Copies of this chain bind each other. A is one copy, B any other.
Amino acid sequence: MKKYCFGVDVGGTTVKMGLFDVEGTVLDKWEIPTRTEESGKNILPDIAESIQKKLCEKSIFTEEVAGVGVGIPGPVDKDGNALVAVNLGWGKKAVSKELTELLHIPVMAGNDANVAALGEMWCGGGKGYNSIVAVTLGTGIGGGIIIDGKILNGFTGAGGEIGHIHLDDEETEACGCKGHGCMEQYGSATGVVRLANRKLASSDKPSVLRDQEITAKSVFDAVKAKDELAMEIAEEFGFYLGKGLAIVASVVNPELFVIGGGVSKAGNVILEYIEPYYKKYVFPGSLDTKFTLAALGNDAGIYGAAKLVLG
């Protein structure tokens, strides 16, 4: 009988790993370094070795393991091949095949943002839901779309790249994708800082933000302290994210948005700025879509990877 599964979240610096029972309880959690040298050729063998050690340590038989799920920072096709993962030094890599051969356990692989979305649906902010869009407001904006319990991967693995929805024709600065006016230029942690600096330069209102380092955290701390200028910045942030997520909902009509990433640590206050603009711009059929905050933090990836193999 299958009692256990492993979830592996491969990052550019560390590989996060988790041992789970099939109900979603994490039994153990650990990390190993990501050895990216020599085109990352050691990464999969290192993961295999670490899993085998854990099986010994816990006296678990291979036959008791449903599988190993792996989240990769890059596009992954349906057969579990990473197409390219710059941060790992990988070009095309047959992740599922290679790791299955090393472990003799079924392996499934997916894009890390999509896999994290699956984790939030399984055990986090989206628990009990079946069709969600997870939005990660970090350095950029990542997205993961789950429809009827399945990841929407997209034809080239670029499904859910909602950070690059075009929202503003007037934008003069370029996004990391070389476009102009992408959602992540306004709603990511970097985007909030950009909006704040613009506002501070264009306004002469007094603000606590004038005397400190500008971060997404300092902006939303100031919002909570009712700083007027900070509230104007939050209003712009809400305008872009609300409008962008309304567009996403007009396409996939999810039951729930789960908002995570560094910016979401500010708490429910961000939803208070996003939701009014969402309701203003969304197609009426998606007016009842709910918003919640992500609950698993950096562990969403290992949860989702584990869920990947449980189907």
- CA distance in complex: A286, B166 (Å): 14
Mark each residue of chain A from 138 to 157: 1 if its CB lies under 8 Å from any CB of chain B, else 0: 00000101010000111111
Q: A167 CB to closest chain B CB, in angstroms?
A: 9
A251-B285 contact in complex given A147-B147, A152-B147, A166-B246, C-beta closer than 8 Å: no
Interface string of A64-98 (1 = CB under 8 A from B): 00000000000100000000000000000000000
A27 to chain B, nearest CB (A): 33
| Copies of this chain per assembly | 2
Q: Do the beta carbons of A243 and B284 come within 8 Å of each other? A: no
Report chain B residues within 8 Å CB of A166.
Answer: 243, 246-247, 250, 281
A75 to B161, CA, bound (A): 27
Residue of B nearest to A129 (CB): B155
A255: interface (CB < 8 Å): yes
Residues of B within 8 A of A103 (CB): none
Q: Mark A244-278, 1 if CB is under 8 A from B, else 0.
A: 00111011111100000000000000000000000
B248 engages A251 (CB within 8 Å)? yes
Cβ–Cβ contact B160 & A251, under 8 A: yes
Our pick among B131, B152, B178, B246 for the contact of A252 (Cβ within 8 Å) is: B152
Judged by a CB distance under 8 angstroms, whether A177 is at the interface is: yes
Within 8 A of B (CB), among A215-248: 243, 246-248
In the assembled complex, the Cα of A246 lies from the Cα of B177 at a distance in Å of: 14
A81 to chain B, nearest CB (A): 15
Q: A155-B254, A164-B250, A248-B251 are in contact. List 10 more A-B contacts (CB 8 A).
A: A155-B253, A155-B255, A156-B253, A157-B253, A161-B250, A161-B251, A161-B253, A161-B285, A166-B247, A177-B284
17 contacts between A and B (CB under 8 A): A131-B154, A154-B252, A154-B286, A155-B286, A156-B285, A156-B288, A157-B285, A158-B286, A161-B283, A161-B286, A164-B283, A166-B246, A166-B247, A166-B250, A166-B281, A248-B251, A252-B252
Residues of A at the B interface (CB closer than 8 Å) are 75, 131, 143, 145, 147, 152-162, 164-166, 177-179, 243, 246-248, 250-255, 281, 283-286, 288-289
